Amino acid sequence: MRLDLFNTTAFRLSVGYTLLVTLAVAVTLGSAYLLTESLITDEVDLIIDTELKSLQEKFARSGVPGVTDEINLRIDSWGRIGAVYMLADANYERIAGNVTHWPFDGMPTEAWPEFEIATIEPGRRAVHPVRAAVRTLPDGDLLLVGTDISQGRRFAEKFRVATLWGIGLSTLAAALAGFWFSYRLARRVGAVTRTCQQILAGELGRRLPVAGSKDEFDALAASVNRVLDRLEDQAGTLRATFDSTAHDLRAPLQRLRARMDALLLRSPALEPQVHESIESALREVDHLQRTLATLLQIALAESGAPLAAPAAVDVGALAAELVELFEPVAATGGLAIDCRQEGAAVVQGNRQLLAQLITNLIENGLKYVPAGGRIEVAVRRLTDGVRLTVSDNGPGIAAADRARATQPFMRFATGGQGEGSGLGLSLVAAIARLHRGRLALESNEPGLKVVLDLPG
């Protein structure tokens, strides 16, 4: 399984982290911008307000001529810093000041109206934004004072661009850091996942990679590796125990067989009756050997040791071959057997064990389904694996007994002819478990339906 970077916790975390960084930087820089802008405006407003107040006092003291003089005086000394003055009558006609005509359409409604003044400076025409305030003098004349705010505007504009760049760059930096972080994390976790899958697939000697950085990943890998060491050790001991048990049980059987074989080959030939007894005893030895082999196989599978050297097995093709193999025997017993399978249905497993599993299920049917019945083997692909179904219309297994049916030496009253070892379904269950499959016994209404889902 390939690790999808965009589907990792680390990736999701870093996306969240990036958003958080963006938000924090935006709030910080944005409020600094707004604060600075309002500071600049407040200062301008204070200057305008002060000017208006002093001119209003002048009017109170010396009327329109006094204000006109004062304005003319201030234009001269304040002109260079961009101060704007205008005294107009009630009809907005200019009385004094450095603005040629009333810049508004009547009386402005807002407290701090803004307008633009075109000036001709040496060599170029310029348009200056002006922020102003208007007061009505007691005699109905209008007094306008404003300030060129192009400097402040330029400053605010620069600040705004800097803010946007700041937000953009820090988002980019956070995203890059997050991406790198999640990539590194995904790679390390991915390596662990891959190793675990290899171990599950039977490569018991594999260990988790230790980067040598002595971080929490290394600590985790080291602990898991110690667990794996112990598991491998136990698997080895178990294997050795199985081997010696198998050897100790089979060697005497071999000697027994050899002696009986020798008797049968002896000349002069034995009496027919003795010959027949020995042949019957030989069949018992074979039966014993098969039971022993099955028990060892079940025990090995149940021990939790993983499947050795799994390979691709087409369960569909295998089922079809086995059904073909059993067809003549089934026909002899008056049973119909068929296989339904569509295209390749490949799983990772052991062909011999899976063949044994299907064989056991078919033989189970042959044993219990009365003449005239049918056995159906079906294989189909699931989205994440393969489903094998073996069903018959025989007596089936009572619902209460189904759970116990896969336990060793379990036989049921229904229809059995006393043959068999009672291990068939246990071996099926053991092989299914060894392949990490899910086995279910169901009613086929009537009959038995065995469903095995194998991971693909």
Partner 1 sequence: MHVLLIEDDTEAARFLLKGLRESGYTVEHVADGRDGLFRATEGRFDLIVTDRMLPHVDGLAIIERMRAAGIGTPVLVLSALGSVDDRIRGLKAGGDDYLTKPFAFAELAARIEALLRRPNAPHTTRLKVEDLEFDLLSRRVTRGGRELELTARELKLLEFLMRRAGQVVTRTMLLEGVWDLHFDPQSNLIDVHISRLRQAIDRGTEHPLIHTVRGSGYVLRSENS
Residues that bind partner 1 in the complex, under the rule CB under 8 A: 242-243, 246-247, 250-251, 253-259, 261-262, 264-265, 279, 282, 285, 289-290, 293, 296-297, 300, 308-309, 321, 324-326, 328-329, 332, 350-353, 355-356, 359, 363, 366, 420
Among residues 151 and 289, whose Cβ is nearest to partner 1?
289
Radius of gyration of the chain (CA): 48
Among residues 328 and 370, whose Cβ is nearest to partner 1?
328
d(CA 187, CA 200): 20
How far is the CA of 100 from the CAs of 75, 97, 125, 137, 382, in angstroms? 13, 8, 16, 20, 87
Among residues 37 and 232, whose Cβ is nearest to partner 1?
232
Residue 28 burial by Cβ neighbours in a 10 Å radius (0-12, 13-18, 19+):
middle
Report the nearest approach of partner 1 to the CB of residue 385 (Å). 22
- Contact 433/298 with Cβ under 8 angstroms? no
Among residues 267 and 383, whose Cβ is nearest to partner 1?
267
Among 360, 348, 238, smallest CA distance to 294 is for 360
3-state SS assignment for residue 260: helix
Report the nearest approach of partner 1 to the CB of residue 251 (Å). 6
- For residue 197, what are the β-bridge partners? none
Among residues 67 and 353, whose Cβ is nearest to partner 1?
353
Q: Max Cα separation, the chain?
A: 160
Report the nearest approach of partner 1 to the CB of residue 214 (Å). 39
Report the nearest approach of partner 1 to the CB of residue 392 (Å). 15
DSSP letters along 68-103, please? HHHHHHHHHHHGGGTEEEEEE-TT--EEEES-SS--
Report the nearest approach of partner 1 to the CB of residue 194 (Å). 24
Among residues 65 and 415, whose Cβ is nearest to partner 1?
415
Among residues 154 and 290, whose Cβ is nearest to partner 1?
290
Q: How many CB atoms lie within 10 A of CB 301?
A: 20
Report the nearest approach of partner 1 to the CB of residue 184 (Å). 39
- Contact 279/264 with Cβ under 8 angstroms? yes
User: What does the block give as tokens for 213?
Assistant: 């950085």
- Contact 368/415 with Cβ under 8 angstroms? yes
Among residues 164 and 293, whose Cβ is nearest to partner 1?
293
d(CA 326, CA 321): 9
Among residues 135 and 239, whose Cβ is nearest to partner 1?
239
- For residue 312, what are the β-bridge partners? 348
- AA identity, residue 50: T
Report the nearest approach of partner 1 to the CB of residue 408 (Å). 17
- Number of residues in the chain: 456
User: What does the block give as tokens for 12?
Assistant: 């999701």
User: What does the block give as tokens for 141?
Assistant: 């004349």
Among residues 166 and 422, whose Cβ is nearest to partner 1?
422
Report the nearest approach of partner 1 to the CB of residue 270 (Å). 13
Please give the order of strands across the beta sheet that includes 374-382: 336-341, 374-382, 385-392, 448-455, 438-443
**Vertex 50, ends 108 and 37: CA angle to 5°?**
70
Among residues 62 and 237, whose Cβ is nearest to partner 1?
237
What residues contact 440, with CB distance under 8 A and at least 6 apart?
450, 451, 452
Among residues 175 and 264, whose Cβ is nearest to partner 1?
264
Report the nearest approach of partner 1 to the CB of residue 386 (Å). 20
Report the nearest approach of partner 1 to the CB of residue 436 (Å). 17
Report the nearest approach of partner 1 to the CB of residue 423 (Å). 11
User: What does the block give as tokens for 68?
Assistant: 């006109």
How far is the CA of 90 from the CAs of 95, 105, 112, 137, 423, in angstroms? 10, 13, 19, 10, 115
What residues contact 433, with CB distance under 8 A and at least 6 apart?
301, 302, 439
- For residue 386, what are the β-bridge partners? 381, 454
